[in-house]
């Protein structure tokens, strides 16, 4: 122990207590989410086969336009579109938006489907880069192609929503692999509560390592890549625990851009996706909350636990780091844009719980946690804080972290049982423990980078080089 003035001991204790308190509040949030997620899973509708769903909803299911933005996707676009056209849903249209691709995405589509330029009267409510051409395929009445100048994903989605003529729009990433009955499952909240439901999100799972045929995941397998494997547990936690729990609490603030089903009019009313943020998916949901609360209308933004889509996760530290920094930036940008909602009683639980969670987890979370790594062990080694402080810090970082991850896995296994083999459970349990030692810290470093980029007002998405699915 060093000799130091009393105030230094006191200051060291206060700093450590602040770090521990922030960690404990986060853990408490997570435990509450777990409990609500468990409740939601217990109360979820019976899992019905596609044909049973069709029997039930076939004649009342509202029509849906799937908006699939495509940028430089010439290699995979046909397979993706084929998979979309083969979805099981009574009434839908696929609107592919070529966002000024520099490769042959447009020509590939035109040639493959013998598409012809057409006129189509469409809305101009949402702003986007100019449309260069509209195309339809005589043999594929469900397929429509919009060719526009490059403007980014949000811009392309806005163009697709403008062109859509259906009450519901489903926005996806061009490389999202949808389950064949994804729309039938996702539309359910709109059928159960048509007056109030404005948006629905569904579970996205990691396709790395899975066997993919014709744009479909035909065999779910765990990835072999370290980073992808870590993300399997992360996605489980993010979707099964966080989003399901928050949805049950009616405080869901994000529906992933990889799959979201929205009431078209509601999206138009809030101005569509914002092109000036990298967190446009979160920002849209926050705008929907804001508008409905401002209008004092009853509404629901719902998350369904059924897996509806698969996505390719980054497999290298560089790309994953970029993605996480971007996500962090997106959260911060959304928080800044709507900061007046934070703890504002006018916005009810969205302002207090939803934004409270964003503040504690996304805004100050990475800063406090990294500060903890840098300060608490040295303070203990210098003798400025007692061993109990160090233990409490280790608890909020590591052991509670293990508990939350493993508890999510328990929830998955008890309620859903989507992992095909017992061996997968063992592997993921090991990952749930190990991710707290190294990967979590790396993630926080990336999130701090996102904070730095936010402060420097960095724009754009950075590189996302895809490896491609393991296709048969």
Q: Cβ closer to other proteins: 410 or 448?
A: 410
Burial 96-105 (b: 16+ CB within 10 A, else e): bbbbbbeeeb
142 φ, ψ (degrees, to nearest 5): -85, -5
Q: Cβ closer to other proteins: 74 or 269?
A: 269
Q: Cβ closer to other proteins: 426 or 464?
A: 426
> In the bound complex, what is the minimum distance in angstroms from residue 461's beta carbon to other proteins?
30
Residue pair 26/364 in contact (Cβ under 8 Å)? The answer is no
User: What's the number of CA atoms in the CB half-sphere (13 Å) around residue 284?
Assistant: 32
Say how far apart CA 91 and CA 93 lie, in whole Å: 7
> In the bound complex, what is the minimum distance in angstroms from residue 23's beta carbon to other proteins?
9
> In the bound complex, what is the minimum distance in angstroms from residue 79's beta carbon to other proteins?
27
Angle between helices 6-43 and 365-381 in degrees, nearest 10:
140
Say how far apart CA 463 and CA 320 lie, in whole Å: 10
Q: Cβ closer to other proteins: 102 or 124?
A: 124
> In the bound complex, what is the minimum distance in angstroms from residue 398's beta carbon to other proteins?
8
Say how far apart CA 159 and CA 293 lie, in whole Å: 27
Strand partners, 302: 200
Burial 27-64 (b: 16+ CB within 10 A, else e): bebbbebbebbbebbeeeeeebeeeebbeebeeebbeb
| Site residues for other proteins per CB under 8 A | 20, 24, 42-49, 51-52, 55-56, 59-60, 118-125, 165, 190-196, 386, 388-389, 391-392, 394-396, 399-400, 402-403, 406-407, 409-410, 413-414, 417, 421-422, 425-426, 429, 433
> In the bound complex, what is the minimum distance in angstroms from residue 253's beta carbon to other proteins?
24
Q: Cβ closer to other proteins: 71 or 380?
A: 380
> In the bound complex, what is the minimum distance in angstroms from residue 42's beta carbon to other proteins?
8
Helix, strand counts (H, E) of the chain: 19, 12
> In the bound complex, what is the minimum distance in angstroms from residue 403's beta carbon to other proteins?
4
Dmax (CA) of the chain? 84
Q: Cβ closer to other proteins: 136 or 284?
A: 136
Q: Cβ closer to other proteins: 63 or 337?
A: 63
Say how far apart CA 171 and CA 96 lie, in whole Å: 10
Which of 343, 392, 358, 336 has its CA nearest to residue 18? 392
Q: Is 152 left (phi over 0), alpha (psi -120 to 50) or beta?
A: left
> In the bound complex, what is the minimum distance in angstroms from residue 183's beta carbon to other proteins?
15
Q: Cβ closer to other proteins: 59 or 463?
A: 59
């Amino acid at each position: 122990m060093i000799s130091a003035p009393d105030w230094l001991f006191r200051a060291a204790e206060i700093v450590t207590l602040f770090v521990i308190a922030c960690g404990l509040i986060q853990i408490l949030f997570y435990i509450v989410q777990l409990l609500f997620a468990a409740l939601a899973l217990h109360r979820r509708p019976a899992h019905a086969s596609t044909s049973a769903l069709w029997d039930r909803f076939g004649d009342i299911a509202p029509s849906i336009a799937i908006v699939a933005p495509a940028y430089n996707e010439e290699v995979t676009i046909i397979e993706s579109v084929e998979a979309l056209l083969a979805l099981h849903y009574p009434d839908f249209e696929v609107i592919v938006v070529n966002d000024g691709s520099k490769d042959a995405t447009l020509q590939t589509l035109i040639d493959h489907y013998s598409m012809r330029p057409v006129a189509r009267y469409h809305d101009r409510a949402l702003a986007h880069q100019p449309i260069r051409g509209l195309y339809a395929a005589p043999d594929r009445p469900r397929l429509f192609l919009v060719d526009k100048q490059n403007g980014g994903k949000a811009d392309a989605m806005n163009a697709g929503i403008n062109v859509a003529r259906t009450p519901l729009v489903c926005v996806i990433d061009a490389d999202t692999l949808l389950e064949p009955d994804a729309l039938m499952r996702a539309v359910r909240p709109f059928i159960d509560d048509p007056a109030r439901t404005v948006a629905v999100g569904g579970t996205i799972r990691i396709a790395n390592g899975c066997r993919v045929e014709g744009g479909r995941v035909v065999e779910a397998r765990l990835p072999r890549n370290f980073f992808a494997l870590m993300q399997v547990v992360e996605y489980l936690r993010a979707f099964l625990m966080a989003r399901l729990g928050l949805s049950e609490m009616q405080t869901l603030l994000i529906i992933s851009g990889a799959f979201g089903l929205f009431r078209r009019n509601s999206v138009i009313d809030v101005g569509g996706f914002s092109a000036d943020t990298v967190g446009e998916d979160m920002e849209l949901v926050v705008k929907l909350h804001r508008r409905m609360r401002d209008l004092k209308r009853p509404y629901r933004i719902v998350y369904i636990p059924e897996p509806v889509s698969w996505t390719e996760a980054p497999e290298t530290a560089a790309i994953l780091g970029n993605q996480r920094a971007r996500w962090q930036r997106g959260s911060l940008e959304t928080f800044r844009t709507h900061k007046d909602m934070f703890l504002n009683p006018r916005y009810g639980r969205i302002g207090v719980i939803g934004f409270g969670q964003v503040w504690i987890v996304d805004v100050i979370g990475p800063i406090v946690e990294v500060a903890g790594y840098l300060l608490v062990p040295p303070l203990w080694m210098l003798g400025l804080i007692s061993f109990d402080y160090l233990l409490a810090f280790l608890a909020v970082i590591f052991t509670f972290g293990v508990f939350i991850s493993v508890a999510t896995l328990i929830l998955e296994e008890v309620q859903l049982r989507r992992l095909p083999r017992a061996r997968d459970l063992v592997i993921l349990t090991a990952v749930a423990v190990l991710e707290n030692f190294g990967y979590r810290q790396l993630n926080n470093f990336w999130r701090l980078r996102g904070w730095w980029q936010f402060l420097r007002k960095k724009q754009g998405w950075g590189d996302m080089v895809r490896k491609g699915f393991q296709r048969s």
